[in-house]
Structure 1
Amino acid sequence: MGENKHGARAARAVASPVAPLVWKFGGTSVADHARLRAVAERMVAAQRSGRGVVAILSAMGSSTDELAEMAYKMSARPPLRELDALLSVGESISVALASMAVAELGSHAVSLSGPQAGIRTDGQHGNARLREIRPVRIHDALARGAIVLVTGFQGMSQDGDVTTLGRGGSDASAVALAAALGATECEIFTDVPAVFTADPRVVADARPLASIRHEEMLEMAEAGAGVMQPRSIELAVAHGIDIHLRSSFSTEAGTWIRREPAELEGAGSWDVAGVAHRYHETLYAARDIDIAAVAVALAERGACLGTVLPDLAGLRFTAPGADPAEVIGALDAIGASVKVDQQLGAVSVVSLGIARRPEVVVRTLAALRDAGIEPRLVTTTPGRVSVLVDSEVVDDAVRLLHATFIPAAVGARVRAAG
């Protein structure tokens, strides 16, 4: 598989005619010893049915947050290399304990760190990009009949340092390993039963989706839906991996995230997949500076320029995912002053083909206007319309837009309740 802009070059080595099952278990799925034992039982049962099993594990529960808290108690700005070395410990604990649980069940498992599993990254500590996967040790362990447990969220740079892949990076680890191992599917076990048309904690009648297209899921993830890391979906698109997201704690069918052929011009091609949101979306205003200078300054801090709105005094812009302190520091470094509005959130309607259906944007803005919710900034992509609103009305905006679009839009993709 060749190098591409979405992720790692994966070396596909075929060890057997049947690719192994590739599973990923999130932090809540391995939060304590009882849940680790349940994960071990699931893996052993699958192996005894005749399949090889490769499982990518996150750190237990909130242990990554606890490690980060320890770091920032020690230093206000811990060196990123050392922060990666610390944060990578959580996943190592998970795979070692799970391996012990497998042994107690009478089977054999091998725990591997990201570097041991052949995961290579660039040297950007804290948010490294996957470069290459050479899963030689995984194939060797599978050939010996072992269940292979791999730490998610981490790899090794060309300098031999441990790197981490950013929040949710275990999703990217899992999809990339599936591609490297010749699998066409990756199963993600988490604490939610499916992808919903909106966050069910906000919208009581949000509906689980039986399936969703890769491109729609990427738009949902980038707009704030926390069920999958956006980079993992990019990898799935690039390498043709279908993702099955399901609960660790039930037998519900979950949601398939996969490549589906769109109808040429039919309405079903451009329906509304869902409504996503973020409670905090920072808007910056800079004076007497051009867009290029801002973009360069942010890039030097590893941040990307988002939406830009020039005006007579300068420009307003967003920097999705960037720490406001980093953005302010980047502009200070080039002598530019910036005002920061952090009292905003974002709500997005995801619908492929918005450029062909301007009525989606019109209905979005009309619904907000009729409810007295003022849009502070509106942006569109080929797959979604996003509106910045005051943070305190984000929930209201999500419920309003879900009621506006979802009842008649999702069609057969919604799984019937019960």
Structure 2
Amino acid sequence: MVATGYEAVPAVAPGAVPRHDSLVVMKFGGTSVGDTERLRAVAERLAAARDAGHRVVGVLSAMGHTTDELLDLAHAVSARPQPRELDMLVSVGERVSCALCAMALIDLGHAAVSLTGSQAGIVTDTVHGKAKIVEVRAQRIHEALDRGEIVLVAGFQGVSTESEVTTLGRGGSDTTAVALAAALGAGTCEIYTDVEGVFTADPRIVPAARKLDRLTYDEMLELAASGAGVLQLRSVEFARNHGVTLHVRSTFTGTDGTWILEEDERMLEKAMISGVAHTLEETVYRVEGVPAARLFSALADAQVNVDTIVQTGPEIVFSAPDGDRVAAAETLDGLGARWSATEDLGKVSVVGAGMKSHPGIAAKTFATLEAAGIEPRVVSTSPIKIACHVGRDEVERAVVALHEAFALQVAGGRSDG
């Protein structure tokens, strides 16, 4: 059995949400708002969108390393910070960014209002630290937009169905932005970051990696699940399920980035491979003695994010993020399973919608790895992905070799596609 699963996403509002092409949601990451100078630049970009006639909603992350600094504070005073209080603490960073940006916008002569996640109507389940959005009640945002205000929403957070402050986990501001775009019927959700878009590989490993003009939702889902850090996995799934067009672009330039949208015939005719993604932060587990249904039900209850699943006999192999290692171990022990964990592997994935209509991708992938002296330990596939777990010290060589084998690079370095 080979499976790649994505969690179900609830409707953001009852019935169909009418599309408003003049409304844009603009999300800015931590680097984009890293200091007061950059915050003012973000305010100017938001103001420019409003001056161009758009109704504007900004979603901001915490400034720079604020979230990490807050977590360090928590662990300085407590060996095991209580999850509710941790959410109360780390949700502060995004509120700071929004309030400061609203002040800058007002100084620029624009009406603006900052809202916490709860004030913006982001309703989540009750899981602290990894909450999932269950509903968006956007009435307050609509009212502010109708008054001509630029609305700034604190990303990464919401309020639970039990009226507690919750956070959405790493990268949660992306999910906030896409959920709001879906709920408001925004024509586009723009994700501003410190890179120019989505590249064929990590440019830090492959300097000649090429910026991609457009990707399908499914390609971006596979790239995000495989380690491409430019977008959070849940946000891409939300976008696909609700038809939200995404535009990943740089905060620091005015050029187009990468558009992520529904597959069409032109996209199927492009290169068979879109990119090579990798991650060094997965643990691979081998489990026996527990039925698959019971195993994965227990892991889900423990909030373990399972990625790769392979089963060809009694042994079940799965991978999960390193950050879920404690929860996974406690769950497996609680089930009485016979299990082992391999912590010295990384994952390299070849992704492309064109794979569906081009035979021979698997042959070239494995031949390339063999020529590089790299032996995959675990292999999993989907219709548009081949993923190989290899030794962590072999991951970068594998990325470079596969990127070259599929001719993804551009002569002379990066290009705009």
TM-score (norm 1): 0.91
What is aligned with 2:299? 298
Shift of 1:303: 1.8
- 1:196 is aligned to 2:234: no
Cα 1:280–1:211 change in 2 (3 A) is: same
Structure 1 partner of 2:223: 220
Amino acid at match of 2:171: G
- Deviation, 1:85, is 1.2
- What is aligned with 1:281? 282
**Of 92, 106, 113, which residue of structure 1 is paired with 2:109?**
106
CA contact under 8 A between 1:354 and 1:381: conserved in structure 2? Answer: no
1:82-121 equivalence runs, <5 A = 82-121=85-124
Q: 2:137 aligns with which of 125, 129, 134?
A: 134
For 1:8 and 1:112, how far apart are their aligned partners in 2?
Answer: 22
- From 221, 235, 238, give the equivalent of 2:238: 235
Amino acid in structure 1 at the alignment position of 2:132: R
Tell me the secondary structure at the aligned position of residue 31 of structure 2: helix
CA distance in 2, matches of 1:326, 1:16: 41
8 Å contact from structure 1 (residues 27, 58) kept in 2? yes
**2:152 counterpart letter in structure 1:** L
Deviations 1:4-31 (A, max 9, x none): 9324423689899764221111111111
The answer on whether the counterparts of 1:13 and 1:182 sit within 8 Å (CA) in structure 2 is no
Percent identity of equivalent pairs:
49
Match 2:171 to one of 168, 185, 193: 168
Aligned residues: 409
Kept in 2: contact 1:8–1:130 (CA 8 A):
no
Q: Is the 8 A contact 1:11 1:134 kept in 2?
A: no
Instruction: Show structure 2 runs of 5+ residues with no match.
Output: 1-6
What residue is the counterpart of 1:344 in the other structure? Answer: 345
Mark the CA change 1:147 to 1:319 in structure 2 (over 3 Å): closer, same or farther: same
Looking at structure 2, the residues matched to 211 and 104 of structure 1 have their Cα atoms a distance apart, in angstroms, of 37
Q: Kindly indicate whether the alpha-carbon contact (under 8 Å) linking 2:122 and 2:133 is maintained by their aligned counterparts in 1.
A: yes
Deviation by residue 1:29-54 (Cα, 9 ceiling, x = unmatched): 11100001111111222222332211
Kindly report the root-mean-square deviation, in angstroms, between the aligned alpha carbons of the 2 structures: 2.6
Q: SS at 1:10's partner residue?
A: coil
Deviates more, 1:302-311 or 1:325-334: 302-311
Q: d(CA) in 2 for partners of 1:373 and 1:248?
A: 38
Instruction: Report whether the alignment pairs 1:372 with 2:363.
Output: no
- TM-superposed CA distance for 1:293, in Å, is 3.3
Query: Which is bigger in relative contact order (C-alpha 8 A, separation at least 6)?
Result: 2
Partner in structure 1 of residue 384 of structure 2: 383
4+ runs of 1 displaced by more than 6 Å? 12-17
Gap regions ≥5 residues in structure 1:
none
Counterpart-to-counterpart distance in 2, 1:383 and 1:308: 16
Question: Paired residue for 1:319?
Answer: 320
Cα contact 2:210–2:408 (8 A) shared by 1: no
Deviation of 1:87 after TM superposition, in Å, equals: 1.2
Could you tell me whether the CA contact under 8 Å between 1:272 and 1:406 is conserved in 2?
A: no
> Structure 2: which amino acid aligns with 1:121?
T
Which of residues 179, 184, 188 is equivalent to 1:181? Answer: 184
